Amino acid sequence: MSEQTEARLAQARAWLRQDPDAATRDELAAIVTRAASGDAAAIADLEDRFGARLAFGTAGLRGALGAGSNRMNRVLIAQAAAGFASYLRERVQGTPSVVVGYDGRRNSRRFAHDSAELFAGAGLRTILLPRLLPTPVLAFAVRHFGADAGVMVTASHNPPDDNGYKVYLGGADAGSQIVAPADAEIAAHIQRVADAGDISRLPRSSSYETAAEDVVSAYIRDTAAVAPAPASAKGFNWVYTAMHGVGWETFSRILRTAGYPQPTTVREQLRPDPTFRTVSFPNPEEPGAMDLAFAAARRTRADFIIANDPDADRLAVAIPDDSAEGGWRRLSGNEVGLLLGARAARAAEGIPGASLACSLVSSPGLGAIAAHHGLDFHETLTGFKWISRAPGMVFGFEEALGYLVNPEKVRDKDGISAAIAVLGLAAEAEERGETLATLVAELGETYGHFASGQVSVRVDDLSIIDRIMLALRTLPPARIGSTAIDSAEDLMQAPEGQPSGDVLRYRLADGSRVIVRPSGTEPKLKVYIDARADTADASRAAVADLEAGVRALLEERS
């Protein structure tokens, strides 16, 4: 047996001795037994589980459930909670405070209770939300309680076997997600806890608080106020799906408070289900995820569909479209973002310093909307940890179905408040005898016809992505398809004060834009395409041509 295998077996046995979870202990013990007898598959499994550590970064932790340092489990959560508590005690004068929330995924409740006990044991004032709730309620609660930090146990729209640990900071960070250098500082504290060994020695306490329903009621009241229903709203007919997540219980109460008619619900997906049994991937963006909602909409002849992802921080909207297969089309994240951005810009017009913000891969149409209404505009790195920090922001969005419509209350994407804002737009349109589809068309007439597309390359070997990015940097393309490149920017070399990252941005001779970057959460290379033209058809045709050109370029460079 090799020295490396012996070392992995020693790591695994040390892990077993401190693991409080019977299920993961049994899982790992079986692997250790097989690996000790020379089973090659078990040895490889141990290497995968212990050859690396699940990295803590600006998105916190996220990964597959299971035993080992490279999985989500109670040992890793205990180390993370103790490390984060140590960071907060170092950062905050007096007694730090932290709010903990959780969704309906496997082990979310257990991870949240472990965290609350460890935070309390470390001397922090700890507030546990009263039950499983949407991520936006946790983000709201951080500001509501004036807490120094928040933790949400969720993997959002990841596959069923994943879970995660999302971290927010209060104080000067105003309830936003963490950014550098906080991520590295927290990770260093976590590593020190892990290096110290047995988590059973960490102090725990049951003296944490369980929040009263008042915090949920406050979120409901403030979210309903985003767009109270006019009397005409009682007339439209719509469909809602929670995608097997936690959104419906809170959202339905907001609908009643705001005065909107109750929707036809996709009952198979309405209640929390950690198996996500009706979808292959619980993300409204994925093919097939909204099929049951489309079927319900056809059956009821609905005016539109609203969908949340499982933790309700994202929003999808679909409208009838005779040209689409099945007669329904999901609006792109950019289309919904521009609809909501125009709504916010009209309301903020004339307010000094008011701004719109979006990530650099989202539609440049938001900049055109800001200019039209005399507002400032900020383009940030991807992620709401950056968007939420834009000065003067009254609205922010990201093309991956994320929208921040109520920044005074929630400094993160919020699929529920965004849904209320969309319902408000639908009600206003109905008063004029129009629809959401009409509003989308009017965007082009008012601000210019913007269209967007995306090309993604999924890989098994991440080095392929590195190789493509290196090839694009060392052999810069002169054109994409038949369109010449006017300028190229490498954001790894961005000037100080400008967004920087592993991103290549090309501006083309016809005014189009192409952005290439590795995904931050999946083994994918993602290419974002944006075009503007005199008509909607022309902008869509330009995007289609560029998509073909991008595929050819990536094949050439890979």
Catalytic (active-site) positions: 156
Are 340 and 317 a contacting pair, CB within 8 Å? no
Token digits for 441? 């068309």
Q: Which amino acid is present at 290?
A: M
Pairing of strands 328-330, 479-480: unpaired
Q: Which amino acid is present at 17?
A: R
Q: Which amino acid is present at 491?
A: L
Token digits for 305? 């569909």
For residue 495, whether the previous peptide bond is cis, meaning omega lies within 30 degrees of 0, is no
Are 314 and 289 a contacting pair, CB within 8 Å? no
Are 292 and 269 a contacting pair, CB within 8 Å? yes
Pairing of strands 97-102, 149-153: parallel
Using CA atoms, how far apart are residues 518 and 458, in angstroms rounded to an integer?
Answer: 10
Token digits for 29? 């013990």
Q: Which amino acid is present at 163?
A: N
Are 31 and 9 a contacting pair, CB within 8 Å? no
Distance, CA of 82 to chain centre: 25
Q: What is the DSSP letter of 513?
A: E
Angle at 235 between CA 229 and CA 240, to 5 degrees: 75
**φ, ψ dihedrals at 394, nearest 5°:** -105, -15
Q: Which amino acid is present at 61?
A: L
Residue that has been written with the tokens 């900049």 in this structure: 367
Are 334 and 326 a contacting pair, CB within 8 Å? no
Using CA atoms, how far apart are residues 150 and 99, in angstroms rounded to an integer?
Answer: 5
Are 133 and 250 a contacting pair, CB within 8 Å? yes
Q: Outline where DSSP puts E strands in 365-439.
A: 376-380, 393-398, 402-404
Token digits for 22? 């019977």
Angle at 397 between CA 325 and CA 304, to 5 degrees: 35
